[in-house]
Amino acid sequence: SPKGFPKLKNDTFLRAARGEETEHTPVWCMRQAGRYLPEFRETRAAQDFFATCRSPKLCCELTLQPLRRFPLDAAIIFSDILVVPQALGMEVVMVPGKGPTFTEPLKEVEDLLKLRQKVDVTAELGYVFQAITLTRHSLEGRVPLIGFSGAPWTLMSYMIEGGGSTTMAKAKSWLYRHPEASHRLLRLLTDVITDYLVGQVAAGAQALQLFESHAGHLGPEQFQDFALPYIRDIAQAVKSKLKEEALPLVPMIIFAKDAHYALRDLAHAGYEVVGLDWTIRPQEARAQTGKDVTLQGNLDPCALYAPKEKIGELVKKMLEGFGTQRYIANLGHGLYPDMSPEHVGAFVEAVHAHSRHINKH
């Protein structure tokens, strides 16, 4: 394998992503490397958030922490979606109690000229590639490593809002007032994201997830105009570049939070896996996406506040809804900082136990 990586011992997640049969349903959690783990808080305590992201050694350590505790079926590299706007020349800082904050968000169309129009991803984001290579070796083939990026609309919304927002009104006003400039920005992001994802595979990522976390702020028509075409383009461009560069064709996951209205389109957007949030019934999601994609999700993260026995019941119900094949268990969004690691463990174990039981009978 490239770069002399260790041989993979547990490929359940990759087989499920490709639609092959699995003995148990694989499981991983969005934000599994996170503040709910005391060891994560300890590792991160002395460091600025983005300085941590730029340290391959720390990213590797944080990625491995949850795997030391839980029998997860995949690791996801510790990083952040906002490293892409940073690569375009924008400054983003992590403000305690507030979250990621852009010192100079995009206000006017002219501000697009301040962005780097050509990004050398190895120069700007090489630290992520180094973290992936180091982590892939450090995993010693235990489980596959997932790389990721934010999707164009989600990144655009942060770049204009300057941080989180409940309405995304500033970013959405661009879509209505400046449609052409919006498309210019989305195209620029698409090109950078494509190179970034291909670079992650070259560095050792064995699957890729695209996070369209702010999909739910768009209605069906705006999603059709300003999100879906770029989501499609990324899948197509990444795959053709991987072929050109003789790199492995890794499975790709699209997670568009709250975009139920677009599930049919997303199932045909060129991704092997469609991630789901917790606001849709498993049977309904299957009906809309058909038989040719794997589904991933979708337990309500807050279900992990329930007693452990209850978590087991909810997992069993979820597995009965999705079926154990062509399915990757996950939460419908990331883990929250105040969650109990024991309850995360109960979730992971319940997926393995119940899916094995269902498969046997």
For residue 195, what is the enclosing H or E element? helix 179-203
Give the chain's mean pLDDT: 97
Give the pLDDT confidence score for residue 349 in this predicted structure.
98
CB 154 within 8 A of CB 228: no
Residue ranges for the chain with pLDDT beneath 50: none
* Beta strands at 92-95 and 99-102: parallel, antiparallel or unpaired: antiparallel
| Enzyme catalytic residues | 31, 35, 44, 80, 158
pLDDT digits (tens, 9 = 90+) for 297-316: 999 999 999 999 999 999 99
Question: What does 36-100 look like in DSSP terms, one character per residue?
Answer: TSHHHHHHHTTS-HHHHHT-HHHHHHHHHHHHHHS--S-EE----TTHHHHHTT--EEEETTTEE
Give the pLDDT confidence score for residue 207 in this predicted structure.
99
Predicted TM-score (pTM) of the model is 0.98
What are 290's strand-pairing partners? Answer: none
Residue 161 three-state SS? helix
Give the pLDDT confidence score for residue 2 in this predicted structure.
56
Give the chain's domains with CATH numbers.
11-360 (3.20.20.210)
pLDDT digits (tens, 9 = 90+) for 261-305: 999 999 999 999 999 999 999 999 999 999 999 999 999 999 999
125 alpha carbon, distance to own chain's centre: 17
Q: What is the DSSP letter of 104?
A: S
In single-letter form, the type of residue at position 10 comes to: N
Which of 131, 142, 125 lies closest to 73 in space, CA to CA?
Answer: 142
Write phi, then psi, for 149 (nearest 5 degrees).
-150, 155
Which of 265, 285, 174 lies closest to 224 in space, CA to CA?
Answer: 265
Residue 254 three-state SS? strand
